[in-house]
Amino acid sequence: MRRVVRGAAGVALAAGLALTGCSAPEDTASAANAGEGQELGKEMAAQVADLLERPTSIGLEAPVRSVPKDKELAYLQCGLPACEALGKALKEAVAAVGWELEVIATGATPEEIKNAWAQAVRLGPDGVIGLGHDRRFFEDELGTLEAKGIPVLRLNMVDPAGGGVTGVLLGRDTYEAAGETIARYTLSRAGDQLNAVAVTVGEVLPSLEVMAASYKATVEEACEQCRVEVLELPSTSVGKDLPTRVAAHLRRNPDVNWLEIGLSDMVVGLPAALRSAGLTPADVQVVGLGAYNVAANQYLADGEFLTAVLTAASDEEMWRAVDFFIRSFNGEDTTPSTDRATWPEWIVTKETLPTATETYPTVEDYREQYLALWGLS
């Protein structure tokens, strides 16, 4: 990332003052500062312009040799609505290739997560899919799966493949890039007046910590006077008191004008909590990651604080997972499945929201494109 050079007019003004030994009138200095903020906003808007357009391709071109038969996958499903929505997409993709799927609920505590992975070991499937929990909670189970030759695909995590993890989808580089993209979008809207809070939910979802850190670093590199605070809340607050915790923090910090909230699941109940705290959408705007939550979609449609969400292929993620296992079972190169550069991404706003009443894909005809790739259409 490079530091943004802003405000040529401001530089010229400063040089002139140095030569004359005079100070600028207050209104002239204010105008120069405003110009710098506008230039920053324009530059950031240009950097995210392409992402405001809906993608039309799943990003994969390399066909598979064939689809193997009689396979079973185990899916370690967290309790967030997004994980449940992804589970439905996975069931659909698995059914499309004629395989079986076992869904194992993980819970939210380290003990519950470890027990879920132990259940996957006992099941002995052909492949295992897990979301972004910290792997230290189930290192022994990963070792056992590796010893049995069972491939493990992990999604939305920050550790690299290896040590029992065969492949990674939406890894650290994805969340770093998401943080950068969301930062540029908020800067395109707020200019150099950005005062943001980035919310994470503890060590159980380290991917959100990576995204928040990237968001903060990108903002601070582009804008010296902008501010970003990272607010870490317990993962057990999701679906419970997270909105009231966030609202209380903003009430104590009334200068905050943007909120980077991580997953759209974390937005549920937030508008009511913010209004109870005396805030309005004119005071603070919210941006998040994901398109899995109908309630969040409605907030976006109604202009209820939520301003934009960044999708990272949403439901298509699980079709990519099946693509990975097809290639893995065939002994083919799985790199096309996991290459972040091929992932379609989309910044969805009120104006481009496809629907407020259900979840939606990033690429409209992704099913047809995957079936064609697999030779099943």
Alpha-helical runs (H) found in 191-241: 206-222
- What is the SS3 assignment for 56? coil
- C-alpha–C-alpha distance, residues 336 and 313, integer Å: 15
Q: How confident is the model at residue 13 (pLDDT cuts 50, 70, 90)?
A: very low
pLDDT tens digits for 271-316? 999 999 999 999 999 999 886 788 999 999 999 999 999 987 677 9
pLDDT of residue 204: 65
- Residue 251 is predicted with a pLDDT of 96
Q: What is the pTM of this model?
A: 0.83
Per-residue confidence band for 235, with pLDDT thresholds at 50, 70 and 90? confident
pLDDT band at 1 (very low <50, low <70, confident <90, very high): very low
Helix spans in the chain (H): 8-20, 26-48, 81-96, 110-123, 139-147, 172-190, 206-222, 242-252, 270-276, 294-302, 316-329, 335-338, 366-373
pLDDT at 14: 35
Q: In what order do the strands lie in the sheet with 167-169?
A: 100-105, 72-77, 127-130, 152-155, 167-169
Does the domain made of 174-311 have the CATH classification 3.40.50.2300?
A: yes
Whole-number pLDDT of residue 166: 96
Residue 11 has a pLDDT of 31
Q: Within the chain, which residue ranges are assigned CATH 3.40.50.2300?
A: 72-170+315-340+367-373, 174-311
Pairwise CA distance, residues 172 & 4, whole Å: 24
Instruction: Quote the percentage of the chain above a pLDDT of 90.
Output: 71
With beta carbons less than 8 A apart as the criterion, state whether 201 and 262 touch: yes
pLDDT tens digits along 112-158:
999 999 999 999 999 999 987 878 899 999 999 999 999 999 998 88
Pick the CATH number of 72-170+315-340+367-373 from 3.20.20.70, 3.40.1260.10, 3.40.50.2300, 3.40.50.1100: 3.40.50.2300
pLDDT in tens, 166-189: 999 989 999 999 999 999 999 999
